Amino acid sequence: MANVTINQLPAATSATSGNQIPLQQGSTTRSITVATLFTNATLVTPILGTPQSGTLTNCTGLPIVAGTTGTLSVARGGTGITSFGTGVATALGQNVTGSGGIALATSPTFVTPTLGVATATTVITDELRGTIQALSGAGAVNITNLTTAFTSTATGNALTLANGNVGEFKTIVYVAEAAGGDTGVLTPTTRVGYSTITFTNVGDSVTLQYFTQGWAVIGSRGVTIA
């Protein structure tokens, strides 16, 4: 047949699955249907570009990070959380307040929590169950135990006591000495109406309570308050 130019070809129309497309290979002309050409065809390393639509149900090797967007639901193995706060509230089905990490059931650490009024709750602390600090010689009388049992090891063992929490009690009892004549001298960091408390004899004791002004003596036996 004679050669024709492009503008002489008939107007293009869409091919259907039954249409045949001619293929020229050397001197041989063959034909293939549209259905045969595009159905179950295997493409090797094609560059597809951006598809406008499609279903990837049978695809494998999809990247998790770069291949997905949006929020993965709990039903599909995700958390359903969009952000800390409102997202957590949605996932847990309740309001969320405060900031920081989520605390689990065993041994969590809460920083300055507001507990409100507790019901059916037992609060046991070192102070309430009466554990005692054993202090031998000069050193710091702690504010974590209600009572400190002091043993002097020399004359004038220097004892310190840091500021406590308002309303907190502290009792120091002189329980033993290394030799006759040993003493202990307590000087709290902040105190009300005195400078030092001296323990001279075994059995001397003092009970203090902390106010905004410092540690005040509310009871004593045998000690010298100066």
- Nearest to residue 98, comparing CAs of 51, 89, 225? 89
The set of residues, in sequence order, having a beta carbon less than 8 Å from that of 170 and lying 6+ positions away, is 141, 143, 146, 147, 148, 161, 164, 207, 208, 209, 210, 215
- The whole-number pLDDT of residue 56 equals 77
Q: What contacts 24+ positions apart, CB below 8 Å, involve 131-134?
A: none
Which residue stretches of 20-62 are H helix?
34-38
What mean pLDDT value characterizes the chain? Answer: 82
Check residues 154 and 23 and name the one with the higher pLDDT: 154
CB-based burial label for 189 (10 Å; 0-12, 13-18, 19+): exposed
Tens digits of residue pLDDT in 182-203: 999 999 999 999 999 999 999 9
* Banded pLDDT at 52 (limits 50, 70, 90): confident
Q: Give the whole-angstrom CA distance, residue 131 versus residue 205.
A: 17
- The whole-number pLDDT of residue 182 equals 95
Tens digits of residue pLDDT in 85-94: 555 555 555 5
Contact 211, 217 (CB under 8 A): no
Mean pLDDT value across residues 3-22: 75
Neighbours of 145 (CB within 10 A): 19
Tens digits of residue pLDDT in 113-167: 877 777 666 555 555 556 899 999 999 999 999 999 999 999 999 999 999 999 9
User: Whole-model pTM above 0.75?
Assistant: no
Check residues 139 and 63 and name the one with the higher pLDDT: 139
- Nearest to residue 192, comparing CAs of 213, 177, 222, 170? 213
Architecture of domain 126-225: Sandwich (2.60)
74: helix, strand or coil: helix
- The whole-number pLDDT of residue 86 equals 53
Residue 24 has pLDDT above 90, yes or no: no
Q: Give the whole-angstrom CA distance, residue 145 versus residue 126.
A: 6
* Banded pLDDT at 103 (limits 50, 70, 90): confident
Q: What secondary structure letter does DSSP report for 128? A: H
Spans of all domains in the chain: 126-225
